[in-house]
A and B are shown apart, each in its own frame.
Chain A
Amino acid sequence: MRYQVKEKLVSLGILAPSIMAIGVFVYGFIGRTIQVSLTDWNDIVSFMQGEFEFVGLENYFRLFNDTRFITGLWNNLFFMLFFILGALALGIMMAVFINDKPRGHFIFQNIYLFPMAVSFVVTGTVWRWIFAPGSPRSPRGINMLFFQLGRPELMWEWFTSTFSIGPFNIALVTIIIAAVWQFSGYTMAMWLAGLRGIPEQLIEAARIDGASKWQIFTRILFPMQKAITLSAVILLAHISLKAFDLVYVMTGSGPRNVTDIPAVYMYETTFRGNNYSRGAGISIILLMMVGILIIPYLVNTFREE
């Protein structure tokens, strides 16, 4: 057997089980989920006995008339938007700050990155304690801090507020803060890696030509980091669609679903309400949303390679 052919067979042999496993457990189950979402499997008996009827897109029509689902979609959209903007802005600021190598930058660099090492379940619990409003008579969490500082007018309902501006529920701000806190260090790390690759001479030259720090940032650093920023946006966007654990632990779906996202609705309707086909429908809609984000990015990356 020729060496090259043999080598190819070996690599195929090593990969084959993974390819099969992915084929079954990822793509097979996606197909199965699509199939379930087109049926009326809405209780455990018909689920077990396989008695179902195809109802076409009825589950999807129903979802788009469902106030909880629509509220959740809007919430997720606003969450994604502000989470990405916040994590990017804060992360880039921290990266630029660390890149100047101030005293003790090693310590700060690690402190900024630490939140990412903790799971959403842990941070969600802690942020729930922080933002628990208490009542005006006995405030809790951050409200208690304002109270003790003699600024009771700053006390607020936080994630229990049902106030909204258009479709934007103000209560989401608390979750956005928690998520930005957790993932801005991640953006910082990505940006920092990129910054370290920009030649020092380039910045030196700009400085000698009299460019201000802001000009160096907007004219040199930011354009050169475009690819990294885009990767960060894609990663943060898909994290925001999967923020189930943070929301579930921190606030639940909230009064009038002010902090609900489709992922939480999917879990509750599938595993509590036994509405398998409706849950499958939500999963497929989420998958398509992730697809809209990721596929153009992947196509672009492959083309460049």
Chain B
Amino acid sequence: MRRVVLAVMLSLALIVAGAAPALAQGGQVEIVNWWTAGGEEDALVALFEVFREQHPEFEPISSAVAGGAGTDAKAVMITRLVGGNPPDSFQVHGGAELFYSYVDPGFMQPVTDLLEEWGVMDDFNPEILDLVRGDDGEIYSVPLNIHRSNVLWTNQRILDEHGLEAPETIEEMFEVFEALEEAGVTPLALGDLNRWPTLHLFENLMLATMGPEDYNGLWDGSVSFDHEGVIEALEILDRALDYVNPDHAALDWQGAAELIVEDEAAFNVMGDWAEGYFRAVDWEPLEDYGWTTVPGTEGNFMVVTDTFGLPEGISNPEGAEAWLKTVASREGQDAFNPIKGSIPARVDPDVDRYSIYLQSSIDDFAVDTLTPSIAHGSAAPEGFVSELEDILNEFVADRDIDHTVNRIMTIAGDYLE
């Protein structure tokens, strides 16, 4: 009989030993993020340095999940939150993504009181705070940085060689494209292996054809997706696809930026994280690469903001609050952003620490109209984004505008009331 009991005990012990969770240690603050590329990781390390200085009693631990735009990190985060094992804080895009995936299901605690206690509420750009403010008026995460996504990057050397200028209107854009095509240069670099870059391009064209009021109206239901600007944007996308590199489906966004660096393509529509790539290969701003807004979107700022929130039921609340305080601080934002290649969400940056491009972006940000990005989760729920990516992925091959508009109308009915 004793052997029977022993056998049961032993095998049970094995199971328990395998399943026992690693116990969290006292002063550690676990932070989930998706910053694994060269410049991004360095920026996070710089922010960690500031955190250690300001709060020496805590030690930050980075749980990074690789993958651009955080698509895989989101899957990990939802799994951990549903499983009741939240990290102390995590990276999340401000806007729809924060609310549909994290706040509405009840995973998050508001941080309004903390921001007021630290007296930093007025230091943030109010329009950015609107992106993280819920219907209940509470703020649910602390914005760390702002990326601009309606940037047209140019290979300045190619433009100079052919005596061309960066276009300002859509019609000019196609004239320049045609001239480049005749000169044997790929006009527009695209890398849509991961689907979202097509949507990224499309949303910028939508902003150009619809203007910011109508574009923003799509998300509160005051404007419908059968708006003529949507159809026009699809027509422009259709035309533009004739000028992209033929291997676009085999490249990711970095592959497309590489075509610019290798002098094979002249233009690339990408967020300003692409500048980090250009600087990593020692390119000089204005000499080797240049930038302008996507034609037709001047005066608008398509915004992507990385924020950090405070989940419910965390193991180290003091540590998490200390971390958010560092994220909200001027020192923290000015340590992180120049390296990351983004601008701070605060209105009082130490401008001298930023690159020429970022300084121009800081200036634009102060006066431009803000619009939320679909591809980067700020505008619409993820179900809508992922289906729109599917639809555009088929559009790239089939180029059927009527069919595509019908399908976009269907998913808009499904996901946006």
B49 within 8 A of A: no
- Is A230 on the interface with B (CB-CB < 8 A)? no
Binary contact readout B1-43 vs A (1 if CB under 8 angstroms, 0 otherwise): 1011101101110110000000000000000000000000000
Flag the segment in A8-16, A26-34, A287-295 that touches B: A8-16
With contacts A133-B250, A137-B264, A160-B250 taken as known, whether A252 is within 8 angstroms of B194 at the C-beta atoms is yes
Q: A43-B383, A135-B246, A271-B75 are in contact. Are A9 and B4 (CB under 8 A)?
A: yes
Per-position binary interface string of chain B over residues 237-257, scored 1 when its CB falls under 8 Å from any chain A CB and 0 otherwise: 000000001111111000000
Closest to B5 in A: A13
A258 CA to B393 CA in the complex, in Å?
Answer: 10
- Of A44-52, A96-104, A116-124, A190-198, the one contacting chain B is A44-52
Interface residues of A in 197-231 (CB under 8 A from B): none
A273 close to chain B: CB less than 8 A: yes
In the complex, A256 Cα to B71 Cα: how many Å?
20
Q: Which residues of B contact A16 (CB under 8 A)?
A: 8, 11
In the complex, the answer to whether A272 meets B382 with C-beta atoms within 8 Å is: yes
Q: Does B119 lie at the interface of the complex (its beta carbon under 8 Å from any beta carbon of A)?
A: no
Of the residues B12, B71, B386, B394, contact of A67 by C-beta under 8 Å: B394
With a CB–CB cut-off of 8 A, which chain A residues contact B247? 132-135, 140, 157, 160
Q: Is there a chain B Cβ closer than 8 Å to A17's Cβ?
A: yes
Contact B184–A274 (Cβ < 8 Å): no
The interface-forming segment of B54-62, B97-105, B110-118 is B97-105
Chain B neighbourhood of A272, CB < 8 A? 71, 74-75, 382, 385-386
A247-300 at interface with B (beta carbon < 8 Å): 251-258, 268-269, 271-275
Residue contact A45 to B249, C-beta cutoff 8 Å: no
Q: How large is the interface on B (under 10, 10 to 19, 20 to 34, 35 or more residues)?
A: 35 or more
Assess whether A133 is in contact with B387, with CB atoms less than 8 Å apart: no
Of all chain B residues, which has the CB nearest A259?
B249
Tell me whether B246 and A136 are in contact (CB under 8 A).
yes
The distance from the CB of A137 to the nearest CB of chain B, in whole angstroms, is 7
0/1 per residue, B378-417, Cβ < 8 Å to A?
0001110111001001101110000000000000000000
Is A162 engaged at the interface, CB distance under 8 Å to the other chain? yes
Residue of A9, A44, A47, A258 ringed by the most chain B CB atoms within 10 A: A44
Q: Compute the total of residue contacts between A and B using a CB distance below 8 Å.
A: 126
A10→B262 contact, CB < 8 A: no
Is B382 touching A48 in the complex (CB atoms < 8 A)? no
For the complex, give the distance between the alpha carbons of A9 and B5 in Å: 10
Contact B382 A274 (CB under 8 A): yes
User: Is A57 among interface residues, defined by CB-CB distance under 8 A?
Assistant: no
Q: Are A44 and B105 in contact (CB under 8 A)?
A: yes
B78 in the interface (beta carbon within 8 A): yes
Let me know if B347 is at the binding interface, CB within 8 A. no
Residues in A whose Cβ lies below 8 Å from that of B3: 6, 10
A21 on the interface (CB 8 Å rule)?
Answer: yes
Answer yes or no: A42 CB below 8 A from chain B CBs.
yes
Residues on B with beta carbons closer than 8 Å to the beta carbon of A136: 246
Q: How far is the CB of B358 from chain A (nearest CB, A)?
A: 30
**How far does the Cβ of A13 sit from chain B's closest Cβ, in whole Å?**
4
Q: Which residues of B contact A (CB under 8 A)?
A: 1, 3-5, 7-8, 10-12, 14-15, 71, 74-75, 78, 82, 100-101, 104-107, 184, 186, 192-195, 245-251, 262, 264, 381-383, 385-387, 390, 393-394, 396-398
9 further A-B contacts with Cβ under 8 Å, apart from A6-B1, A160-B246, are A17-B14, A43-B100, A45-B104, A137-B184, A137-B264, A160-B247, A253-B393, A268-B386, A273-B387
Query: What are 23 A-B pairs with beta-carbon distances under 8 A?
Result: A6-B1, A17-B8, A21-B15, A43-B381, A44-B78, A44-B101, A47-B105, A133-B246, A135-B186, A135-B245, A135-B264, A136-B246, A137-B184, A159-B249, A255-B249, A255-B393, A256-B393, A268-B386, A269-B386, A272-B74, A272-B75, A272-B382, A274-B382
Give the 7 A-B residue pairs with the shortest CB-CB distance, closest first. A256-B397, A273-B386, A271-B75, A160-B249, A13-B7, A48-B105, A13-B8
